[in-house]
Chain A
Amino acid sequence: MGETDKELARRCLAGDNSAFAGLLEIYQDRIYSFAVRLLKNPAAAEDAAQETFLKAYKGLSSYDPAYPFASWLFRIAHNACMDALRAGGRTVSMDDENFPDLPDRAAGVAESVAAALDGERIEALLAALPAIYSEALLLQYREDMGPAEISRVTGVPEGTVKARLFRARELVKIKLNATV
């Protein structure tokens, strides 16, 4: 997959428009899904995804093939989504972590509750989380990125990414317990 992305990006830089169509085909659902889960609005997510692909096309020469193409593209999508959230009047904590008050470790979750963690329920839980936490979970589990790659996407230090991931999981557990 990585090689294919890089090859398509190289062909696109050489002026082959069909290569960009290939990249669009590979990534349109992933970028749109990421945006719609952060913005919680299909129209705004489509705008953000469109902006992401156009910016990627214009800035393709700045892509460094030493890194995965996906993290470069998701970095652009992250910026587009954060801009959209700010434009919509949502506060997005980027520099200083404004963590909600959490216990050191959330209480255990009842086995029956955790077992019923289906798609619909996790979608609702992610939608209830602040964007920086749902983003961390989506990038790690849905996009299969490690903390270093997420750090490149979000532009925050790796330690902050790990803290966000921990907090995100704890918040999900608290919300799961609250639904019982």
Chain B
Amino acid sequence: MDMDAAKTDELIAEAVRALPYRRPSAGFAARIMAQVAVTRRELCWADYALKAAEMTVAAWTAALCWGCVRLVSTRLPEIAAFFMQPGGVSAAVKLLAARAALLGVKLAAAVSLAADLAAAAAGFPGYYEIGAAVVLSTAALAALSARTAAARI
């Protein structure tokens, strides 16, 4: 006599439910715990490296902030006077925009010079060309900027 489908499903469910759990070989848990201990040490080292990197970034940020604060505080009277004069704020905005534009032009010139130098020195490996061009163009631009700034003062 055939059973109905639902009853057979229930019998299958009961049979699967009654399956015993099997045990892995002896020492399985000990092996895993030994590997966990090794992993834990590796994770600790990775944590230390991350913490060191975080602290370096934090220290560098603090140094930059400190430098900015000192720069502003030493020139506070001049800055305050500049802002208090009529049209001072708009003049400051214009000055900042002009500085940003100048910086953009300098960067574009540096990139262009680096590309020209790289193309000219075809016999050298690529990273030497680019590295040398970047260093030379940065030094040249820095020297030129310092000279023009000194001339203005």
Residue positions of A touching B, CB distance < 8 A: 17, 20-21, 24-25, 28-30, 32-33, 36-37, 42, 45-46, 49-50, 53-54, 57-58, 105-111, 114-115, 117-119, 121-123, 126, 137-138, 140-142, 144, 169, 172-173
Interface residues of B in 4-36 (CB under 8 A from A): 4-5, 7-9, 11-13, 15-25, 28-29, 31-33, 35-36
The interface size of chain B toward A, counting residues with CB under 8 Å, comes to: 33
Known: A21-B33, A58-B43. 11 other contacts (CB 8 A): A21-B29, A25-B29, A29-B22, A46-B25, A49-B28, A108-B4, A108-B5, A114-B8, A117-B11, A172-B12, A173-B5
Nearest-neighbor residue (CB-CB) of A110 within chain B: B2
Q: Does B81 contact A (CB under 8 A)?
A: no
Q: A21-B29, A50-B32, A117-B12 are in contact. Are A29 and B23 (CB under 8 A)?
A: yes
With a CB–CB cut-off of 8 A, which chain B residues contact A21? 29, 33
- Could you give 5 example pairs across A and B, Cβ below 8 Å? A17-B33, A24-B29, A50-B28, A58-B43, A111-B2
With a CB–CB cut-off of 8 A, which chain B residues contact A118? 15
Q: A54-B39, A108-B4 are in contact. Are A119 and B24 (CB under 8 A)?
A: no
Interface residues of B in 33-90 (CB under 8 A from A): 33, 35-37, 39-40, 43
Residue pair A115, B36 in contact (C-beta under 8 Å)? no
Residue positions of B touching A, CB distance < 8 A: 1-5, 7-9, 11-13, 15-25, 28-29, 31-33, 35-37, 39-40, 43
What's the minimum C-beta distance from B18 to chain A, rounded to whole angstroms?
A: 6
- A106–B3 Cα distance when bound, in Å, is 12
Nearest-neighbor residue (CB-CB) of B9 within chain A: A169
- A129–B43 Cα distance when bound, in Å, is 40
With a CB–CB cut-off of 8 A, which chain A residues contact B2? 107-111
Nearest-neighbor residue (CB-CB) of B35 within chain A: A54
With a CB–CB cut-off of 8 A, which chain B residues contact A33? 19-22
Residue pair B5, A105 in contact (C-beta under 8 Å)? yes
Residue pair B19, A122 in contact (C-beta under 8 Å)? yes
With a CB–CB cut-off of 8 A, which chain B residues contact A140? 13, 16
- A169–B15 Cα distance when bound, in Å, is 12
Residue pair A32, B23 in contact (C-beta under 8 Å)? yes
Nearest-neighbor residue (CB-CB) of B4 within chain A: A108
Residue pair B22, A32 in contact (C-beta under 8 Å)? yes
Residue pair B37, A17 in contact (C-beta under 8 Å)? yes
Nearest-neighbor residue (CB-CB) of B17 within chain A: A141
In order of increasing CB-CB distance, the 10 nearest A-B pairs are A108-B2, A141-B16, A29-B21, A122-B15, A32-B24, A117-B15, A33-B21, A33-B22, A141-B17, A114-B11
- A58–B150 Cα distance when bound, in Å, is 58
Nearest-neighbor residue (CB-CB) of B21 within chain A: A29
Residue pair A108, B3 in contact (C-beta under 8 Å)? yes
- A141–B20 Cα distance when bound, in Å, is 12
Choose among A20, A138, A172 the residue that contacts B36 (Cβ–Cβ < 8 A).
A20
